[in-house]
Amino acid sequence: MKHSFFAVDLGATSGRTIVASLTDKGLELEEINRFPNHLTEVGGHFYWDINELYRHIIEGLKLVAQRQLPIASIGIDTWGVDFVCIGKDGHILRQPYAYRDPHTVGAPEAFFARVPREEVYRTTGIQVMNFNSLFQLDTLRRNNDSALEAADKVAFMPDALSYLLTGKLVTEYTIASTSQLVNAKTKALAPELLKAVGLTEGNFGEFVFPGHHIGTLTQEVQRMTGLGAIPVVAVAGHDTASAVAAVPALDKHFAYLSSGTWSLLGIETEAPVITQDTERLNFTNEGGVGGTIRLLKNVCGMWLLERCREGWGETTYPELIAETEACEPFRSLINPDDKIFANPASMEKAICEYCESTGQPAPETRGQFTRCIFESLALRYRQVIEDLQALSPNTVETLNIIGGGSRNALLNQFTADATHLKVVAGPSEATAIGNVMIQAMAAGVVANIEQMRKLIYKSVPTQTYLPAQTTDWDIAYIHFKRYCHERRTN
């Protein structure tokens, strides 16, 4: 029997809609439409164009109707933390601020002057980042923002888009957990933190978990698209939560690496891990599927290489990999998470400065820069995994790499060598697959996350990388940690 679902997968630079079908042969994905997601700068602020995103979703649904593709439900996932304000009349009051807006610079410190930092982390288990919803809301309140002052409801991005499709407002757990407004232990909004920013639970939609049926398409949407009363399901609204749900693991002895511009490296736990160590190491406890917690750390990822490539002109990726493989190993190593790499005017100059400050030769060629980045990322992954091993109730035996970075064979092998772990790469379309599989769970096609993962394991191809040159990597790791220490203490 064939079951088809419509997934909306929105990233901070682009979005797409996908129809995925579960058949006796496995899982089939078809992209329906793809579109850019541009920031709009107006009056010194950066906004998301939620109306344009909604229009693209409607266009995707129109194409589904025109092609007579039978879909059982619709699910939406997006990036985290951002939200819209909705007035008493049910209308969105203005375009939502983007997390890249500079108005929250220094916001955590302003909030912690009233509520102790330790108390916030003990409650939420979420790492402190200036753009977390908690600090966005506090900034808007302090700035007497007119939209927030007039708001009856606050809706996170996937919930706001589902609201536009159905007229029903919910607050989905995984996306809400990124806000730093959710009590990690009770899995509910934290009243004391809401009060600190002038809100109550009544300012949010019904608090729901992945798999909840939100409602059906409104009469207006049915008329515009040509579809019937299709159900809209609250999937794991946070894109990383949907991606992790698609990890094709058959047991609990795995770590995951959602690899792309940024690397999200973590483990699944059954309860939040909130200790002095997790706070000191800046680990975060975000909501997962099936009652799980995603204990993870943000690691700078392919951002380093993307920024370097801006100045390298036209070059194919295979050419760059060939140049990298021809270079001397471990010539230069950096800490990818050093603040110098956050947003430098020139990434190449920043890497050279780091190397010079630690007494290493600076890279000179494209291959040397790329090798430096790949080797350093692999060693940073090892460092984070060692911390996770100490925090995890389960031993980590396999590292599952998902997302676009799972196609980087050279970095995957480096990672296996550095970490001494078996690396299983794929699926690259993990977010969309996770979105779809949660819809399938809501439809009763699969019973739970374990069945989801077994089905993905059987139907989605993966590539395995086994550790090889581990001795050389062990020596390099000693040097890597020394360079990191020297940068911190100088």
Catalytic annotation present for 159: no
The two structure tokens encoding residue 396: 């980590």
The two structure tokens encoding residue 134: 């908690």
Closest by Cα among 243, 215, 248 to 229? 215
Residue indicated by tokens 């049926």: 213
The two structure tokens encoding residue 268: 């699944």
Backbone dihedral angles phi then psi of residue 437, each to the nearest 5 degrees: -70, -30
Closest by Cα among 407, 405, 388 to 397? 388
Say how far apart CA 462 and CA 469 lie, in whole Å: 22
Q: Which of 9, 77, 239, 417 is catalytic?
A: 239
SS3 196: helix
**Mind spelling out the 3-state secondary structure of 225-283?**
HCCCCCEEEECCCEHHHHHHHCCCCCCCCEEEEEECCEEEEEEEECCCCCCHHHHHCCC
Residue indicated by tokens 């092998």: 413
Contact predicate 34/11, CB 8 Å: no
Q: Which positions are annotated as active-site residues?
A: 239
